[in-house]
Amino acid sequence: MKAVCIYSYGGPGVLVYQEMPCPRPGPGEVLIRVHAAGINPIDWKVREGHLQAMLHHTLPLVLGWDLSGQVEIVGSGVLRLNVGDGVFSRPDTSRDGAYAEFIVVRETEVALKPQSIDHVHAAALPLAGLAAWQALFDTAHLGAGQAVLIHAAAGSVGLLAVQLAKRTGAHVIAVSSARDHRLLRRLGADEVVDYQAAPFEQVTGPVDVVLDTLGGDVQARSWKLIKKGGILVSLVDPPSAEIAASHGVRQAWVRSQPNATQLAELAKLVDAGHLAATVGKILPLCDAARGHQLGELGHTRGKIVLRVV
């Protein structure tokens, strides 16, 4: 099979497009023919070697943990899936990923893809959708009537988080550049904040929940916006428990986890017309290095997706 892998850590230039042996599924696993693979920040963090201590990868390693495709082979003990099923997945990041024509994934990490969208758009959903779901609902317990501020709201996580938060009845404040405000309002944002026009903390708040997708100075400036008893949930930098306590609020750091049940719920929302994935750029698999370069610049609206088939 054709695949993109790394033999050493470094910049986009370490990505190698080549022939590799096709994997075979074991018990409880399926072989998926990958139609499309999403590019996410974790991909270039792994490529640069920043997550070695956490994920314990061995090289060579195929990157990419966001995919949509078709089941080709079903391993023993698999009960829910059948050969020919259209599926999508956020697989285990400790194993080889989806920058390849085929990938082996555990059944517990796979759900039937939304029927109303193609594989490219389905590949933009799993990792970002699960990150938004698990941050907003499993961790922050966001509910109707609460206010949530979403940083980088035009990013792949932010665009889905805006829609999910609005559907649950929350008051949604989206922080982005002005060029994305019309889209964010269409997706359900009640307020839009142009971070380039004025410091966001001077023009909004207070809120019950802050969804931090940027970390650093943005996270540090967000504490003052949170109501007493509220929560800052970060997907990037672990927030300080001491700083949270000093503001009378809570904090959490979320790393999205594979979850077939939640993927199935996301698929239902898509097919019902309540959730849409935004794809900013589509590239062929052999251009994965360019996808990383564009992603690291951070100016792409929505998800960068590699078309494999």
> How is the chain split into domains, by residue range?
2-125+277-307, 130-253
Least confident of 76-90, 176-190, 253-267, 288-302: 288-302
Question: Please, what is the end-to-end C-alpha distance for the chain in angstroms?
Answer: 12
Instruction: Assess contact for 263 and 273: CB atoms under 8 A.
Output: no
Q: Name every residue whose Cβ is closer than 8 Å to that of residue 92 and which is 6 or more positions away in sequence.
A: 65, 105, 106, 109, 258
68's tokens: 């949509």
In this model, does residue 299 exceed pLDDT 80? Answer: no
Confidence band (pLDDT; 50, 70, 90) for 124? very high
pTM: 0.95
Q: Name every residue whose Cβ is closer than 8 Å to that of residue 113 and which is 6 or more positions away in sequence.
A: 68, 86, 87, 88, 119, 122, 267
Query: CATH code for 2-125+277-307?
Result: 3.90.180.10
- Look up the CATH architecture of domain 130-253: 3-Layer(aba) Sandwich (3.40)
Confidence band (pLDDT; 50, 70, 90) for 300? confident
DSSP string for 154-210: TSHHHHHHHHHHHHTT-EEEEEE-GGGHHHHHHHT-SEEEETTTS-HHHH---EEEE
Cα gap 274→292, rounded to integer Å? 30
Q: What is the pLDDT of residue 53?
A: 78
In this model, does residue 13 exceed pLDDT 90? Answer: yes
Least confident of 11-25, 40-54, 180-194, 266-280: 40-54
- pLDDT (average), residues 248-260: 96
Q: What is the pLDDT of residue 301?
A: 79
Q: What is the pLDDT of residue 108?
A: 97
- pLDDT (average), residues 28-56: 93
Give the position of tokens 């792949």: 156
Q: What is the pLDDT of residue 205?
A: 82
Q: What is the pLDDT of residue 75?
A: 98
- pLDDT (average), residues 5-16: 97
Q: What is the pLDDT of residue 69?
A: 98
Q: What is the pLDDT of residue 282?
A: 97
Confidence band (pLDDT; 50, 70, 90) for 298? confident
